């Protein structure tokens, strides 16, 4: 790697092949927005998993496509970080298959890419609203990664995360026991290294994710990983705030049990299993 980082952005896109096919049109629109704003200063690093013998084709410049047979979001993102370092990019974002970036959101990152405080856009769980691009303003805000959990909304400097990796035991994947928590752990490693938890967040620029299911089915999948995340955080980054968050985390699950909410006992059990598991 060269001594100086170049003035480019690496877009690390990680997806299963089937998810790529399902969301191809939105992904293509998202990529177009990056090309329009960043022009030829962006590299697309695509980590496609479970593709078997299938290949994907895109007409964009600066495409770097890699195929992984083992499914795992943390493995894929770590590979993307390594490739961004190899390309000597100055900035990096993590782009998932279900996310669509608006031109306004991309423009906000570009405008504030030299900020000493990490630029961040807002995330909405709804169908995309494409508005005319405007000069979006931002504000400095201190975040709590327990609740602001999505790393794909932040522009990172590659140099600042070059030695940080996603926890390969967490996140969706064929060999991971804990199907959640990878973003929270990454955020805590990153912001703790920077010694502050501040971002420069857009006031009106959003990225979009399809609406989530309201039946708590995802909570069943995520519960064990969430429990283990609190165990790790309390051990490595203990604070009264984290302790209170942990109490609220288990208290919420307990209250749901008292009112016999759907899947509540299973969710509480899995959270406890994750928290009291042996490393």
pLDDT above 80 for 123: yes
Confidence tier at 216 by pLDDT (50, 70, 90) = low
How many angstroms separate the CA atoms of 161 and 148, rounded?
Answer: 18
Q: To the nearest 10°, report the CA torsion of 263, 188, 148, 227.
A: 10
| pLDDT value at residue 133 | 66
**Per-residue pLDDT for 5 more than 80?**
no
**Residue 105 corresponds to which tokens in the numbers above?**
């959101």
**Distance (Å) of CA 235 to CA 53, 56, 168, 229, 264:** 43, 43, 18, 10, 27
Residue 57: half-sphere exposure toward Cβ, Cα within 13 Å: 0
Tokens of 267: 């969710």
Tokens of 151: 């790393």
pLDDT band at 1 (very low <50, low <70, confident <90, very high): very low
**Quick one: pLDDT at residue 276?**
96
pLDDT tens track for 159-207? 999 999 999 999 999 999 999 999 999 999 999 999 999 999 999 999 9
What is the phi-psi region of residue 176: left when phi exceeds 0, alpha when psi lies from -120 to 50, beta otherwise? beta
pLDDT band at 113 (very low <50, low <70, confident <90, very high): very high
What distances in angstroms separate CA 21 from CA 45, 61, 98, 127, 149, one per listed residue? Answer: 17, 20, 11, 18, 26
Would you tell me the crossing angle of helices 73-87 and 182-194 to the nearest 10 degrees?
40
Q: What percent of the chain has pLDDT above 70?
A: 97
Whether the CB-CB separation of 118 and 39 falls below 8 Å is answered with no
In angstroms, how far apart are the furthest CA atoms of the chain? Answer: 59
How far is residue 186 CA from its own chain's centroid?
Answer: 9
pLDDT band of residue 2 (cuts 50, 70, 90) is very low
Token pair 């390594």 is found at 82
Q: Enter the pTM of the model.
A: 0.94
Query: What rounded mean pLDDT belongs to the chain?
Result: 93
């Amino acid at each position: 790697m060269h001594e100086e980082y170049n003035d480019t952005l690496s877009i690390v896109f990680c997806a299963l092949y089937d998810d790529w096919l399902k969301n191809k049109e939105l992904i293509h629109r998202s990529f177009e927005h990056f090309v329009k704003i960043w022009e030829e200063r962006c590299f697309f690093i695509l980590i496609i998993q479970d593709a078997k013998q299938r290949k994907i084709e895109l007409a964009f410049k600066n495409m770097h496509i890699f195929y992984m047979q083992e499914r795992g979001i943390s493995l894929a993102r770590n590979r993307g970080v390594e490739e961004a370092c190899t390309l000597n990019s100055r900035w990096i974002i993590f782009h998932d298959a279900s996310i669509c970036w608006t031109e306004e959101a991309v423009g906000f990152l570009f405008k504030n890419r030299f900020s000493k405080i990490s630029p961040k856009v807002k995330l909405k769980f709804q169908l995309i609203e494409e508005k005319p691009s405007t000069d979006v303003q931002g504000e400095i805000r201190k975040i709590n990664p327990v609740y602001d959990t999505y790393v794909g909304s932040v522009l990172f400097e590659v140099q600042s995360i070059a030695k940080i990796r996603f926890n390969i035991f967490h996140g969706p994947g064929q060999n991971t026991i804990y199907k959640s928590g990878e973003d929270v752990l990454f955020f805590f490693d990153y912001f703790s290294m920077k010694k502050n938890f501040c971002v420069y967040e857009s006031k009106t620029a959003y990225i979009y994710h399809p609406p989530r299911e309201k039946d708590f089915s995802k909570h069943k999948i995520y519960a064990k990983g969430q429990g283990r995340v609190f165990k790790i955080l309390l051990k490595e980054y203990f604070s009264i705030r984290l302790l209170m968050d942990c109490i609220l985390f288990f208290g919420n699950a307990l209250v749901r049990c008292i009112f016999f909410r759907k899947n509540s006992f299973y969710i509480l059990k899995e959270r406890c299993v994750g928290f009291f598991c042996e490393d």
